[in-house]
Structure 1
Amino acid sequence: MTQEAKMMKSDQAGSAAGKLRALVVAPGRGCYNKEELGYLARYHGDKSDFIEAIDAYRRDLGQRPIADLDGQGKYSFKLHTPGENASALIYACAMADFMDIDRERFEIVVVTGNSMGWYIALALAGALDERGAFEVINTMGSMMSDGLIGGQMIYPEMDENWRRDNAKTALLDKVIDEVNQEAGCELYTSIHLGGYRVLAGNEAGLTQAEARLPKLEERYPMRLYNHGAFHSPLLQEIARRGQQALPVSLFHQPKLPMVDGRGQIWGRFSSDMERLHNYTLDHQVVAPYDFSQAMAVGVKEFAPDCVIVLGPGNTLGGPVAQTLIANQWFGWQSKQDFSEAQKQAPKLIAMGNPAQRLLATGKA
């Protein structure tokens, strides 16, 4: 029996002893908004050493401390959404939430994340140590501090029951193809995000897409503020710079299994650090991130009893639920199934939701 199999058996024994098997999901950019201001102070006043370590690193670089950002009296798009600030804030909130999960109740069997959440997942699993996590997240988050490269927009790919709408899928594929035939236009699939598709492109490509996609719910297509063209060929130079700035030596064998944005599993004793470095700082920077596939593999391969989504915020709750519905996990086949089940005994626990947070931590 391999070490992986032995550890899997140990995990199952833990579940049999009464613990719930949990898949933990780390959020990406765009989840620290007006409602999340003060999240660190509100929930993590007991983690001053952790927060101060991040702030000492940032002060050395001439960056604003996250304690100061989190403690502002008013939320500011200009201050809180740039990558160099948003990435550090989100990492700190998510990592601190992970520390608070009740290990007496939950056996964490696998971790994954959406987009920037992959960097956080590396930290959760121990593939990056505390210092390495600061370095990777702060470095990659600051890469476009001198100016964004391209942008992103989001568009629904589902019906009102949170099930895949094949007509919308075909439309998005058609628009991407048509826009890329226009001179000076670039448009790509950036993220498969549950019931949504995130597109990345240059300004000309995004403008063309906005003109071609029907308006839905008076919201979509929606531009994502202060987001570059993540997970697209437009970031080839960012990938090159990231690989130069961040050595392979930062990466370690993970202590928990991880599922990446292709649905590949990185095992606890069998991960190749060169390949992990290459995937993290090349492939996932310039190629589509399939969060839907990551979730499908996570639930099918590790059979969790519940899914815990780390804060801040709860913007990832819907896409996670949509992936669970697509895979009929927990018996859910529609938005109604999900909503009714959540009222009885939540199996999707969002730590950014105060009521559900208690379920994950056992403390207010």
Structure 2
Amino acid sequence: MTKTAWVFPGQGSQLIGMGVDLQDIPVAKAKFELAEKILGWSVLDICQGDETTLACTLYTQPCLYVVESILSDLLKGKVDLPQLVAGHSLGEYVALYAAEVFDFESGLRLVKKRAELMHSADGGKMAALMKFDRDQLTTVLNNTPDVVLANDNSEAQVVISGTPEGVENVLSQVKAKKAIALNVSGAFHSPLMQGAAKEFLTVLESVEFKEAKIPVLSNVDPRPTTDSQVLKSKLTQQMTNSVRWRETMLQLAQAGVTEIIEIGPGKVLCGLIKRTCKDIALEAIGTVEQLDGKAPALVS
């Protein structure tokens, strides 16, 4: 028996042109128009602009939320609902929307505020490490103040976050095949985001969370739940805590998931899952053409 999970990628997966092929579909057109009223700018214009602007946190996060939410809505009209949902960082907001924890507008207002706060954060640094000694990294992090494991993406790929001095100190001590400084303004998913998280909390508390129609795996505690208050509590911790994606993938496998659909641009999460859970069938849905492959065409 097939057991399906839907997963939603976060910042870093954005692509120029994403969502543009959706604009003539009525349900998508309505959401693009609503998003422009809420944001004060056009998602479609940004997605058709230059890479630098799209890669700016202020624009990336709302664009991904809008495009992925539309894709999720359209896919729901074609296939059975999944048994589990999860999202990577920003993608968790789309997972919560897909599970009907909040409506599209509420989610976008949360993402808009989150993007503004993270965009304005400064004084931090993030770096990705590939093919490294995990035990050595853990030891160095434990002995280095102001640096944490921000994204535990897979056994062979992580992101560290903290003060510039602290991050450089860790990089100088840990052997890795590749280490790349990320082009971000702040130390996302670290305690250095505490000020932004506190301000964000006032907005988050004003949004009503409903019981999830589909169990959601949170970034900070990847155990599936439908409890609205538990999901909200976990989301309050997300900005300052690690994205435990490696554990999320393992949890999906342990739950007996046999098929995972990545909903959004590219195949970033599919790549991570393929190397971690080799027996799970993978599919990426990020375009009208890929959606049309699930059933009769959406547009004439």
TM-score (norm 1): 0.74
Contact 1:100 1:361 in 2 (8 A): no
SS in 1 for 2:19: helix
Contact 2:217 2:223 in 1 (8 A): yes
- 1:288-299 equivalences in 2 (<5 Å): 288-299=242-253
Q: 1:183: which partner in 2?
A: none
Q: Does 1:202 align with 2:170?
A: no
Q: 2:235: which partner in 1?
A: 280
Aligned CA distance change for structure 1 residues 147 and 353 (closer, same or farther; 3 Å): same
Q: 1:38: which partner in 2?
A: 17
Q: 1:263: which partner in 2?
A: 222
- 1:73-84 equivalences in 2 (<5 Å): 75-77=50-52, 79-84=53-58
Give the whole-Å Cα distance in 1 for the aligned partners of 2:78 and 2:54: 35
SS in 1 for 2:120: coil
Amino acid at match of 1:202: T
Work out which of the residue numbers 129, 134, 153 in structure 2 matches 1:155. Answer: 129
Give the whole-Å Cα distance in 1 for the aligned partners of 2:263 and 2:111: 17
Q: Does 1:139 align with 2:113?
A: yes
> RMSD over aligned Cα, in angstroms?
2.4
Contact 1:153 1:221 in 2 (8 A): yes
Q: 1:53: which partner in 2?
A: 34
Q: Does 1:349 align with 2:280?
A: no
Q: Does 1:310 align with 2:292?
A: no
Aligned CA distance change for structure 1 residues 211 and 70 (closer, same or farther; 3 Å): same
Aligned CA distance change for structure 1 residues 87 and 319 (closer, same or farther; 3 Å): same
Please state how far the C-alpha of 1:317 moved relative to its aligned partner. Answer: 2.0
Name structure 2 gaps, 5 residues minimum.
Answer: none
Number of residue pairs the alignment of both structures matches: 294
Work out which of the residue numbers 239, 264, 278 in structure 1 matches 2:197. Answer: 239
Please state how far the C-alpha of 1:307 moved relative to its aligned partner. Answer: 0.3
SS in 1 for 2:188: coil
- 1:75-224 equivalences in 2 (<5 Å): 75-77=50-52, 79-101=53-75, 103-157=77-131, 168-180=133-145, 186-195=146-155, 196-214=157-175, 216=177, 220-224=178-182
Amino acid at match of 1:350: A
SS in 1 for 2:133: helix
Give the whole-Å Cα distance in 1 for the aligned partners of 2:197 and 2:61: 17
TM-score (norm 2): 0.88
Contact 1:310 1:350 in 2 (8 A): yes
SS in 1 for 2:260: strand
Aligned CA distance change for structure 1 residues 351 and 362 (closer, same or farther; 3 Å): farther
Amino acid at match of 1:55: E
Amino acid at match of 1:293: E
Give the whole-Å Cα distance in 2 for the aligned partners of 1:57 and 1:309: 26
Q: 1:337: which partner in 2?
A: none
Give the whole-Å Cα distance in 2 for the aligned partners of 1:258 and 1:26: 12
Name structure 1 gaps, 5 residues minimum.
Answer: 1-14, 158-166, 181-185, 331-346
Contact 1:190 1:198 in 2 (8 A): yes
Please state how far the C-alpha of 1:264 moved relative to its aligned partner. Answer: 2.0
Give the whole-Å Cα distance in 2 for the aligned partners of 1:315 and 1:285: 21
Please state how far the C-alpha of 1:130 moved relative to its aligned partner. Answer: 1.3
